[in-house]
Structure 1
């Protein structure tokens, strides 16, 4: 098994509390992550939220739905969200989102740590970096639209 970690950040025109509230709801990830088309089986267990996100991969005129198990915790309320993802194919991903006040907005930094079978490196790292950049750009776009 191989492991890699990478980070990316974006400045968002919204206060940390508003961003945290949005990201703490599993349903917000539909469309926020470009592959996520559904969220189901949401369960609050103490300080954790567990759910299944359905990623849809296009395969020409067909598609493949990949159910991934996600556990969200909040190590620093309103400032940090930790998502642990278990995906088929022995892929494990941990995403840590840090929210840092920046003037009237927020600097959002997402650090992704992914563990995967070596043969899947190109696919896993390619998708994880692409999804991370899309997700942060979409978050900035959503938050720029006034509530």
Structure 2
């Protein structure tokens, strides 16, 4: 199965414990990806959360499609990681590694995207990269609410 790995490093002006708590809460993923418009069906067990994330896509400027994806999320120590399973044949593994950086946090955001077909991988990886690059600014903007 074709795959690609994407990496981004950015700074968030909040302590690692606050960033970990923020990234460990499923409801905070709404808007963290510009595609995610809702989170529902949250199921929590010790050390793990599972939920359905609603990704909204627009095609040709007027066709709306809501993609319901299954997400598994684990937050422990200095890491938040998980998996995303899309019904469209796309799988994504993610890992946020957090490290103290001055008075804030350095976040290493690593995504591995897999898809059933190479053209689907190209599309999914392009969208994932757009989201990944936006995430640093979004988290930095949320830093004040994390404290």
Please give the range of the TM-score, normalised by the shorter of the 2 chains: over 0.9
Spell out, residue by residue over 1:41-89, the C-alpha distance to the aligned partner (whole angstroms, 9 max, x if none). Answer: 0000232100000000012223100000000113x42x10012000122
The answer as to 2:77 corresponding to 1:70 is no
The answer as to 2:86 corresponding to 1:115 is no
Counterpart CA distance in 1 for 2:146 and 2:6 is 30
Alpha-carbon distance, 1:146 to partner: 7.0
Residue number in structure 2 paired with 1:90: 89
SS of residue matched to 1:32: coil
Of residues 36-45 and 57-66 in structure 1, the stretch that sits farther from structure 2 once superposed is 57-66
Spell out, residue by residue over 1:74-116, the C-alpha distance to the aligned partner (whole angstroms, 9 max, x if none). Answer: 3x42x10012000122111011001100111110111001111
Identify unmatched segments of 5+ residues in structure 1: none
Counterpart CA distance in 1 for 2:92 and 2:138 is 20
Residue number in structure 1 paired with 2:105: 106
CA contact (8 A) 1:12 1:144 kept: no
Residue number in structure 2 paired with 1:57: 57
Alpha-carbon distance, 1:25 to partner: 0.7
Counterpart CA distance in 2 for 1:123 and 1:105 is 33
Residue number in structure 2 paired with 1:21: 21
Identify unmatched segments of 5+ residues in structure 2: none
User: Number of paired residues?
Assistant: 145
CA contact (8 A) 2:32 2:139 kept: yes
Counterpart CA distance in 2 for 1:146 and 1:98 is 17
CA distance 1:146–1:53, change in 2 (3 Å): closer
